Amino acid sequence: MILAFDTYYFEDKAKTVCLEFNDWTNSEETNTYTEILDGIDDYVPGEFYKRELPCIMSLLDQIDLTACEAIIVDGFVVLDDEDKLGLGGYLYEKLAQRIPIIGVAKNNFHDLELRKRAVLRGDSQKPLYVTSKGIDLDIAADKIKNMHGEYRIPNLLKKVDSLGRD
């Protein structure tokens, strides 16, 4: 099983959505999990993970992770080439480094050069930026590149994003 997460914020609430699927090339999810949490703190620059990590962990508590191959997050796993942790890196640590984490970001982060891969999909000339922990970065990038969908953003990642906004 592979899990893809996204969180959308409104007022002092956060809606976290997770799609579960069984193979990297699946076109449809096998399960959808959602949760809305109240009392979410405002965004603090440089501390995004403190806002989103509790939302992901709360939803993960509802999922049996025994057969989890990987978790995909919207954003970065590391923030620089010296291994400064981003949201995905903190999630990897919180899960005792047992489950590989792959970060997929739509925008570049310039402090990071060696520990990210730019992935072009479909006819897009604008890459996705992939980072990872617990899985080789080139393998992680290849898995994202080969996910179902003909456009820049894989279909299931686009779907998890849109479900969060609904």
Q: What is the CATH number of domain 2-165?
A: 3.30.2170.10
Strand order in the sheet with 128-133: 31-37, 13-21, 2-10, 70-74, 101-105, 128-133, 117-119
The pTM assigned to this predicted structure is 0.96
C-alpha radius of gyration, the chain, whole number? 15
SS3 69: coil
Q: Which of 57, 60, 71 is nearest to 1 (CA)?
A: 71
Which residue(s) pair with 19 in the sheet? 4, 32
Q: How many CB atoms lie within 10 A of CB 163?
A: 17
Enumerate residues 6+ apart whose C-beta is below 8 A from 82: none
User: What's the CA gap between 127 and 108, in Å, rounded?
Assistant: 9
pLDDT digits (tens, 9 = 90+) for 8-48: 998 889 999 999 999 999 999 999 999 999 988 787 777 88
SS3 113: coil
Q: Tokens 């919207």 sit at which residue?
A: 74
pLDDT digits (tens, 9 = 90+) for 65-110: 999 999 999 999 999 999 999 999 999 999 999 999 999 999 998 8
**What residue type is 113 in one-letter code?**
E
